[in-house]
Structure 1
């Protein structure tokens, strides 16, 4: 059994189709009946700084053409729920808090348009995805498992709709447990900034001041976040 690990990045995540929908009626932009924001749920969340990370743990298309999704989310639950409430394609949802910054989301969505959505590439091929599918900063990172020819067809279909980059391909041997589950949103942000600025490079390329500036906090706060995050990661690894 082969696997392919890919990164998927949409150009607009539904914004273009929303704009086309506004123009179909021929009304001007000043028409008071035109919704202020008709972006898809994916587009709204991709644009939200308050949502740090989503992990799609499982999904299934039901017999009534509803896409059922179970996600683990790091970020502002109020912002996430507001996006769910205002997206017309969302037909149902339930949120279960883990703490103030992390929660599970069970989301039911009308079946995406088979001709327009990047989801459509998944519906016509035989494969499985290896959870989690990580959604972060408008980019989706996922691992697909199946026969080589089926994986090639999925990647080809995805490439016709969105930008796809193949990170790795080979024989699947499984994965170990995730260590990021133990991190709060701020701790995760601190580690990401530290890695991005080269704080852990040898020799060190970034400083604590760089991390604090990116997080808009004091250096002492940034240091505390890093220490707590590093302790959680080390405890998870050693356990």
Structure 2
């Protein structure tokens, strides 16, 4: 059994759907991940989405987007929120849903969202299924980059699977500079310098990393 992790990037705009594009363009809200997506077969899908930032601003975006049929938002800790929504599909989303039905591959959830509207998706299947997928034509509107591939081992790395790629990058940098040594040998500033972000952002990422790891350990 193999896996392929793809970065799927819109070539026009900043999202696959109007609501995603509005979130990607807004400086106060960041889409983090899609944890569940179900096709209702009536031109709509339901989504369970994780976001960070201004939860009230997220509510405003959802309320002001005509394609959103209904939604509700639950605010979490440290500026994190969870949104359930039922949204109308567009041509690109319908194409992707149809492709999923034909490809015989399993999508590993969650789908990671980037701050520019990309989606990082991991697909799992047999070599034969991936070979058939290579023959499936891609539509105009987005480009696909293969980031990594290999044998799928479900028993390994599950703690890291709970992290986004950016969170893993920050964690690796924190370990490398000695942030988790005892006594501690580095600060948020050192981690931030290593990954090219502000100390506040580095601290926020580390907080999310620690929460995700401890949540997985005590399940």
Q: Do both proteins adopt the same fold according to a TM-score greater than 0.5, normalized to the shorter chain? A: yes
Unaligned 5+ residue runs, structure 1?
A: 18-38, 182-188
Structure 1 residues 238 and 134: CA distance shift in structure 2, 3 A:
same
**Deviation of 1:78 (Å):** 1.7
Contact 1:13-1:42 at 8 Å conserved across structures: no
**Match of residue 114 from structure 2:** 136
The DSSP-based 3-state class of the residue aligned with 2:84 is strand
169, 173, 177: which one pairs with 2:159? 177
Deviations 1:128-160 (A, max 9, x none): 211111102122111112233433555654575
Quote the residue 1:167 is aligned against. 147
Aligned twin of 1:50: 28
- TM-score, normalised to structure 1, is 0.63
The equivalences for 1:25-174 within 5 A come to 40-99=18-77, 101-113=79-91, 121-137=99-115, 138-154=117-133, 157-158=137-138, 160-174=140-154
Q: What is aligned with 1:11? A: 11
Residue 193 of structure 1, CA deviation: 9.1
- State the 1:108 CA deviation: 1.0
Flag the 1:176–1:122 CA change in 2: closer, same or farther, 3 A: same
Higher mean Cα deviation, 169-178 or 58-67?
169-178
CA displacement, residues 102-139 of structure 1 (integer Å, 9 cap, x when unaligned): 22211111122159865554354322211111102122
Quote the residue 2:182 is aligned against. Answer: none
Alignment TM-score, normalising by the size of structure 2: 0.68
Q: How many residues align?
A: 203
Distance 1:208 1:71, change over 3 A: same
**Would the alpha carbon gap of residues 87 and 7 (structure 1) be closer, same or farther in structure 2, given more than 3 Å must change?**
same
8 A contact 2:37–2:47 mirrored in 1: yes
Q: Is the 8 A contact 1:59 1:69 kept in 2?
A: yes
C-alpha distance in 2, partners of 1:211/1:180?
A: 21
Give the whole-Å Cα distance in 1 for the aligned partners of 2:97 and 2:50.
19
Q: How does 1:190-209 map to 2 (within 5 A)?
A: 201=176, 208=189
Contact 1:144/1:151, CA 8 A, preserved across alignment:
no
Name the CA distance, whole Å, in 2 between partners of 1:56 and 1:195: 22
Q: In structure 2, the residue corresponding to 1:177 is in which secondary structure?
A: helix
Q: Check 1:234–1:41 CA distance in 2 against 1; reply closer, same or farther (3 A cut).
A: closer
Q: Structure 2 unaligned runs (5+)?
A: 179-184
Asked which structure has the greater CA Rg, the reply is 1
Shift of 1:228: 5.6
SS at match of 2:159: coil
| Root-mean-square deviation over aligned CA pairs | 4.2
Contact 1:130 1:142 in 2 (8 A): yes
